[in-house]
Structure 1
Amino acid sequence: MPALSLADQVDGPGSARRRPSERRKSNRGCVKADPEPVRKRPGEASRRRQAPRETAMDVVPRRGNIASRPAGAVAIGIFQGERRPTGAAGAIDRASRGAVTALLRSRDFTGRFLETAVLYPSGLRARRLIVVGLGQPEELSPHRVRLVAGQAARRARDLGARTLATPAHGAGRGGIEPERAARAVAEGSILGDYRFTAYRTDPGPPPLDRVEIVELDAASSVRMRPAILDGVRVARGVCLARDLASTPGEDLPPERLGQKALAVARAAGATARVLGKAQLERLGMGGLLAVGRGSANPPCLIVLERGPGGGRGAATAARPTRTVVVIGKGVTFDTGGISLKPRENMNKMKYDMSGGAAVLGLFSALQGVELPLRLVGLIPAAENMPGGRALKPGDVVRMMDGTTVEVTNTDAEGRLLLADALAYSRRYEPEAVVDLATLTGAISIALGHLAAGLFTPDEDLAAELLAAAAETGERLWRMPLWPEYASELRGDTADFVNSAGREGVSILAATFLRHFARDLPWAHLDIASTAWSPVDRPHEPRGPTGFGVRLLLEWISRRAADPGKSAAPAAARARP
């Protein structure tokens, strides 16, 4: 393998230098919500008028025969090799006088996973019939159902159908519990319909207004209702994260991200504080302050807190509570600073706050949810810009915990602000801390774009996160974090350097963070490989993906449901 360029070592996926033939096209997807306007400074030109906000799709349960539902389109799934439609597909086939059977007999459609056909049969109250392949029955999973639903919703939208009726794919022959299937369909429908249109003069086909999940059995339909609501809530949290990561840096500096966090907290029944420069100086958060030094927009630390049961109250000595902390990198635009990134793909660096966006999406998805623990979200937010006051290579930064760090690369900035956030998190005495960040371009070289890197010395925490990843389809791949790596970060001028060498770049970045996590039960997710999709997928367009919202919510929900989880000594759970 050719040696990586210096840029391949540093923070952020845009750090990896590409040859011209490898350059990705810019994002053409869109979102559900307009970014909020930034207040203008005196004499500053007004922004161009943005596109109107799209209406949020409704996803609702319906009891009845799917063949009799009036809709712009109806969607069904067919297993690979199936010759006689059953269940909802069988009802559609009977009502359409054998249209589905005729399609299967023609062999133009075989039921391969995500294979799609559109029919216009008579006998249905829907104008169109969308048939999507489910693949082999034994391979069907909730995540595959999510992808099938996303495929159907996107196809219906592109055909101009404003409404879509669909069964809970996999709830019959697929062997998936009806509630899990219904939730996956709800999530997939919203995620597949998602687009970012805030800055487009021609937004394309209108979004779907409504998706109906149709179930013939009355009892099953009733049981599906809360699962569908859960799926809608989670998917909208993902869409929020995508919205934020898609918004240009000029319209979402750290201060504006803090304002967005305040709004999210109010809606989610949480509290939020935005600590400004003076407060950061009093706390001694030298890493966060140093990263934001070169920008006209000052850095801040966003702190969200949600008490047990969904309340705003914090734990007290008389009422101790379990606490989980999630930390998201919030670099709202990353030029690399004095260690300037290459020109190619720098426009994507608006999404270097995808970790912070995922934290806000997580809190948004918790509206109306009761958790028996306190959840704290920390987003260290800054712009990494060059300038006369910017951090320089060779500068020494004193971190919040007193550690000194010589800056050898200003584009390795994410680990500096995350390190201060990890030190800040200790005041909560958490039973677990998970940070997620678009930290290194090197993780994409190692894993491609289908998995994020998982780094933790804690075996139990690793198992929990991997189980949540398997359920949600937000894949993680565990990476080594052996203590011997730490020697490569030892400095001559200061305690540590923030970047060292070309080999094992992602591991060294995680090793740097491990020093500041100390004995906390901690995991680091390097999501630079998954936070931006280079291609369209059924449940996500090209561009920001909102990765981490569903994963974190699943992990927290499972941990909350297990009263046996506690902050046992991390050393007892660590691997050597």
Structure 2
Amino acid sequence: MKLTTSALTPDRWSGEVLALGVFAGDDVPSGLSWPRGADAPLRDAVARLLAHGSFSGARDELVAGPGLPGRCERLVLFGLGRAQQVTPHTARRAGAAVARTLTSGPNRRVAVALPSWRVPGPDGGGPGGPGLDLVEHLAEGLSLAVHCGRWNVLPDRFRADYGSDLPQEPESVELLGAADTGRMLSRAEAFTHAVVLARELVAAPANLITPQRLAEEAVGLATPGSRLSVEVWDEAECRKQRLTGFCAAAAGGADPARLIRLHYRPAAPVGPPVAVIGLGLTYDDRGVLRSGGAVQGAKKFMAGAGAVLGAATALAAVGGRSEVQLLIPAVAKAAGPGALRVGDLVTTASGATVELNHEDAHGRLMLADALHLAARLGAHRTVGVSALGLPVAAALGPKAAGLWSTDDGLAADLTAAGYQAGELLWRLPLVDEYDDELLAPFANLRAAGPPSGDGATAAAFLRRFAPPGAWAHLEITEPAWSPRIDGYYNAGATGYGTGTLARWLCTR
């Protein structure tokens, strides 16, 4: 699908599908206020479409019908809500709603037009103020919805026959009246590709996405001109690097473990290095049990690794100003010979000893050593992303990720990046009192606190290993997987966290 912008007005365009966005509060019932200056045939077609419904331009509203003979086969009206309340998330949902009308009939050429491609936005941007450009976000919604059910990145293409329920991919989509926005479309393409890669990695079965295959995907990102370099450490190298906690977690695994390090270095780095860590449990035997045997229990615990690899592709395409270390500890967790047992004592790379009082401590040990490695690499700002299965959904629901941070500025930056990506982050308490819950009589600390506070104590555990400087951690287990098609999300892996990391890294 080729996305372009055009200076054409809706009444001068011809193709298969013409989609007109409407803001709530416009003079919608008369069908005459938009498109402004439209010729009589287009005004009449809009009026016919509105004659038998109650379309008001509210968010997520959509009506479709016959178009204009000789000009377009179908006409679509979609609502965006009030202009002052449009967000990046709602703009993406609008783009996805248009894409989901493309399930039948000819859809080779599609055009989308809005009364204005720049709105005040809900954060107070008025005329002449910062406002919100909708081109990038609406384009992402279109592209992500069209991707649903298709494998665009990984060569292992396997999919069920969904019939005609999936959007058909048009040859081209023109954004009318949105000229001179090539940079926004380039960013939209890069961020969409990043999310799609993360989705496909997380959704793929564990016999295809092993730690080694994950490493191969990372190596493939280091193309000439990407400013990315890659190192892959096997278990022997990890022992040589004294990553003892990671090696303990890898013992008994279903496939050989790998520690993946991508290094992004711009031509003229600004500021100190940053590090991003994504947990890569490519298979989790107990995750299957915790999810009642559901397939996502075996897959979604590598969502942090998927988000980091996706963000790496966006960073290579869009660029960033800071030097970045992207670390992925990858293990296929299984109860094979030598696997960790409850009660075992493990010495981590930092030298701290950990008593394993929890069956699922593997991810915490992997992250602990990755945090120590980030410190060795000189990171001054460090962000971890994981799907550890921490019990934060009872408070946040299935569409928000938990955020812990030692630094208000870093937390605010990530929250702002999440807003632009349509990913809700909610900051949770990180207080010293939780350290007491990790006290152990025969070790420096326990792997977990009481079940009632597992999320808070897991964050306290990870903080013990964080590098000096600002640190934050995102827990994305619930939003990493959607049980149904929802806006621009697939049913299944959503790629959650990728957009937040990509925007944070690309604007630094």
Fold match (TM-score > 0.5): yes
**In structure 1, the residue corresponding to 2:173 is in which secondary structure?**
strand
Could you tell me which runs of 5 or more consecutive residues in structure 2 were left unpaired when the two chains were aligned. Answer: 151-156
Aligned position for 1:295: 253
Are 1:410 and 2:367 matched, yes or no?
no
Within a 5 Å distance, the mapping from 1:115-514 to structure 2 comes to 115-123=61-69, 125-157=71-103, 161-167=107-113, 170-171=116-117, 180-197=133-150, 198-205=157-164, 207-216=168-177, 221-222=179-180, 224-266=181-223, 268-309=226-267, 322-336=272-286, 341=290, 343-514=292-463
What is the CA distance between 1:341 and its match in structure 2?
Answer: 3.8
CA RMSD of aligned residues (A): 2.5
Comparing 453-462 and 532-541, the one that deviates more: 532-541
Q: Note if contact 1:341-1:411 (Cα within 8 Å) is conserved in structure 2.
A: no
Alignment length, in residue pairs? 490
The one-letter code of the counterpart of 1:181 is L
| Letter of the structure 1 residue corresponding to residue 242 of structure 2 | G
Compare relative contact order (CA 8 Å, sep 6+) and give the higher one, 1 or 2: 1
- SS state at 1:504 partner: helix
TM-score (norm 1): 0.79
Contact 1:153 1:164 in 2 (8 A): no
Report if aligned partners of 2:68, 2:74 keep a CA contact under 8 Å in 1: no
Q: Hey, what's the Cα distance between the residues in 1 that align with 2:34 and 2:425?
A: 34
SS in 2 for 1:516: coil
Q: Is the strand fraction higher in 1 or 2?
A: 2
Q: 1:86 to 1:411 in 2, by over 3 A?
A: farther
Q: CA deviation at 1:200?
A: 2.4
Displacement of 1:505 in angstroms is 1.3
Contact map agreement 2:212 2:258 (CA 8 A) in 1: yes
- 1:536-555 per-position Cα deviation (integer Å, ceiling 9, x unaligned): 21111221111112111222
Give how far 1:280 is off: 0.7
Give unpaired runs (5+ residues) of structure 1. Answer: 1-56, 561-576
Q: Post-superposition, which runs of at least 4 consecutive aligned residues in structure 1 deviate over 6 A?
A: 173-179
Distance 1:512 1:529, change over 3 A: same
Q: Identical aligned pairs, as a percentage? A: 31
Q: For the Cα contact (< 8 Å) 1:454–1:524, is it kept in 2?
A: yes
CA–CA separation in structure 2 for the residues paired with 1:309 and 1:98: 56
Change (3 A) 1:60 1:271: same
Residues 280 and 129 of structure 1: CA distance in aligned 2, closer, same or farther (over 3 Å): same
Cα distance in 1 for residues equivalent to 2:208 and 2:490 = 22
Q: Which amino acid aligns with 2:372?
A: A
Range 508-517 or range 389-398, more displaced:
389-398
TM-score normalised by L of structure 2: 0.90
Per mean C-alpha deviation after superposition, the further-off stretch among 103-112 and 525-534 is 103-112
User: What code does the residue aligned with 2:434 have?
Assistant: Y
SS in 2 for 1:500: coil
CA distance in 2, matches of 1:174, 1:459: 27
Structure 2 match to 1:72: 16
Tell me if the contact between 1:87 and 1:172 (Cα under 8 Å) persists in the aligned partners. no
Q: Deviations over 1:174-208 (max 9, x none)?
A: 67879821111221111111223432252534741
Asked whether the 8 Å contact 1:95–1:123 carries over to 2, the reply is no
Query: Could you tell me how far apart the structure 1 residues matched to 2:365 and 2:87 are?
Result: 39
Superimposed CA distance per residue, residues 104-158 of structure 1 (whole angstroms, 9 cap, x where no aligned partner):
3544322221111111032562211121111223211232111101111122245
CA 93–225 in structure 1, closer or farther in 2 if over 3 Å, else same: same
Partner AA of 1:192 in structure 2: A
